[in-house]
């Protein structure tokens, strides 16, 4: 099928006015200006010299002309907890520790697994309806992959290790068992996530990252999210709130007495790089260590504001060479799961803003790289998966990327692996 629109934004190349994307089966076959589809062929089969070598479509290839619209790769959300969609809108903006205490109370209410499974499904559909075709999703008790398996969204289902939890996985053996349970398919990849450096011991973090390395799957973790966490990592064992203290002692979680960058380097030394959610409190030295390790950081702009954190160090991280992608975190600390609204929010609220094309890359190709999926998704290129989002645009649009960021429209159509799902 050939899908035509007023604009095609391939990410890996500049926007194309009056462009097309041709898909066959689950893949993208060609991307280019619609004009080139009519290019006369020379008798030796070569194309005109001033145009890319595009052959005219087969007579039977269906053409879908979407008119005033912008085709982008499906957006990629590298950090969310879809199961927490069950608590969307229930918690008010508050500092992180106050919020998490209240969240724990909500999660303890009976019927949790069913409620959170439904939340995961709902969150996945909410994502698709916002043009997000791939999520890096964390599930506490490994329930989300079951709920998400039948939803036509691409997903890395990160299985969470949390030492102080009352349910598995709480140690590397339970983590290994849970990861093995995940029934992967074309759209579903298993991943590994030790929750955070203040809830999992260094030995268990290392074991979790080693498991990811051994099975060749991505890993993520929450890192340097709060000031108190960083003070704890640097050696102040009383920096964390009182309700964590006793539990941490029971689980053998001690301060590593290192700054977050150095500690990560120790935990991940010699292993594949991973994805760090938040990284809100990283200084220049941390940034250089994260860059040297090849890790990615996911900044969640609206959740960041929800918790009232200080300005995020994304410029410092990027300047040091760290790959910074944009995510949403969960609907329990955000208004919705729209990535365009995240970069719109950045445009309106952040200083030292990356260029518009870089912002869009942070929710597509860079996010795909953070999840280790850049060879499959994140840009419109022949051979990649046919994951597309199509957004409406005004007839007078001259810059489709500015239009997407300023208006953050909802998509009119979404394809995942060549199948139209919205």
Residue ranges binding Zn ion (CB under 5 A):
277
Can you read off the two tokens belonging to residue 186?
């074309």
Cα 48 to Cα 112: distance, rounded to the nearest angstrom: 62
Q: Which residue, 79 or 217, is less far from Zn ion as judged by CB?
A: 79
Can you read off the two tokens belonging to residue 298?
């996911």
Strand positions, DSSP E, 91-203: 132-139, 154-161, 188-194
Q: Which residue, 138 or 389, is less far from Zn ion as judged by CB?
A: 138
Cα 250 to Cα 43: distance, rounded to the nearest angstrom: 77
Cα 223 to Cα 114: distance, rounded to the nearest angstrom: 29
Element spanning 97, H or E: helix 96-108
Give the nearest distance from C-beta 103 to Zn ion in angstroms: 11
Cα 340 to Cα 91: distance, rounded to the nearest angstrom: 23
Give the nearest distance from C-beta 393 to Zn ion in angstroms: 32
Give the nearest distance from C-beta 302 to Zn ion in angstroms: 13
Query: Which spans in 156-200 are helix H?
Result: 172-181
Give the nearest distance from C-beta 7 to Zn ion in angstroms: 33
Give the nearest distance from C-beta 195 to Zn ion in angstroms: 9
Question: What are 385's strand-pairing partners?
Answer: 27
Give the nearest distance from C-beta 268 to Zn ion in angstroms: 19
Whether cis (ω within 30° of 0) applies to the bond prior to 321 is no
Q: Which residue, 333 or 376, is less far from Zn ion as judged by CB?
A: 333
Q: Which residue, 161 or 389, is less far from Zn ion as judged by CB?
A: 161
Q: Which residue, 99 or 391, is less far from Zn ion as judged by CB?
A: 99
Q: Which residue, 120 or 277, is less far from Zn ion as judged by CB?
A: 277
Give the nearest distance from C-beta 26 to Zn ion in angstroms: 30
Cα 354 to Cα 358: distance, rounded to the nearest angstrom: 6
CA dist list (Å): 331 to 166, 174, 336, 347: 24, 28, 6, 21
Q: Which residue, 338 or 379, is less far from Zn ion as judged by CB?
A: 338
Q: Do the beta carbons of residue 49 and residue 31 sit within 8 Å?
A: no
């Amino acid at each position: 099928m050939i899908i035509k629109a007023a604009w095609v934004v391939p990410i890996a190349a500049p926007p194309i006015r009056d462009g097309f994307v041709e898909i066959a089966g689950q893949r993208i076959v060609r991307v280019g200006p619609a004009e080139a589809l009519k290019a006369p062929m020379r008798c030796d089969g070569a194309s005109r010299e001033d145009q890319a070598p595009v052959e005219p479509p087969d007579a039977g290839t269906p053409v879908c002309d979407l008119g005033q619209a912008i085709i982008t790769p499906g957006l990629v959300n590298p950090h969310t907890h879809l199961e927490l969609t069950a608590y969307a809108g229930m918690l008010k903006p508050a500092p992180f520790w106050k919020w998490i205490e209240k969240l724990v109370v909500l999660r303890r209410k009976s019927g949790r697994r069913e409620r959170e499974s439904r939340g995961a499904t709902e969150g996945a559909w909410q994502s698709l309806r916002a043009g997000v075709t791939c999520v890096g999703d964390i599930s506490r008790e490994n329930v989300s992959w079951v709920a998400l398996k039948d939803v036509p969204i691409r997903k890395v289902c990160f299985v969470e290790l949390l030492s102080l939890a009352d349910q598995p996985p709480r140690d590397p053996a339970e983590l290994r068992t849970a990861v093995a349970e995940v029934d992967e398919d074309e759209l579903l990849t298993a991943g590994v996530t030790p929750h955070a450096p203040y809830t999992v011991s260094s030995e268990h973090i290392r074991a979790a990252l080693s498991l990811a390395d051994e099975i060749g799957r991505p890993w993520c973790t929450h890192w340097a999210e709060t000031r108190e966490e960083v003070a704890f990592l640097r050696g102040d064992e009383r920096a964390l709130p009182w309700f964590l203290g006793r539990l941490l002692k029971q689980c053998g979680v001690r301060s590593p007495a290192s700054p977050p960058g150095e500690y990560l380097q120790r935990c991940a030394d010699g292993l594949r790089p991973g994805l760090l959610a938040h990284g809100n409190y990283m200084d220049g030295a941390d940034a250089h260590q994260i860059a040297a390790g090849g890790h990615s950081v996911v900044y969640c702009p609206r959740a960041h504001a929800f918790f009232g954190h200080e300005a995020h160090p994304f410029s410092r991280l990027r300047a040091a060479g760290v790959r910074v992608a944009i995510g949403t975190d969960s609907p329990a600390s955000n208004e919705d799961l729209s990535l365009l609204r995240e970069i719109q929010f950045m445009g309106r609220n952040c200083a030292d803003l990356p260029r518009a094309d870089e912002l869009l890359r942070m929710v597509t190709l860079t996010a795909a790289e953070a999840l280790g999926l850049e060879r499959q998704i994140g840009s419109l290129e022949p051979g990649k998966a046919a994951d597309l989002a199509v957004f409406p645009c005004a007839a007078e649009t001259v810059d489709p990327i500015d239009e997407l960021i300023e208006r953050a429209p909802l998509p009119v159509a979404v394809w995942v692996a060549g199948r139209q799902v919205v």
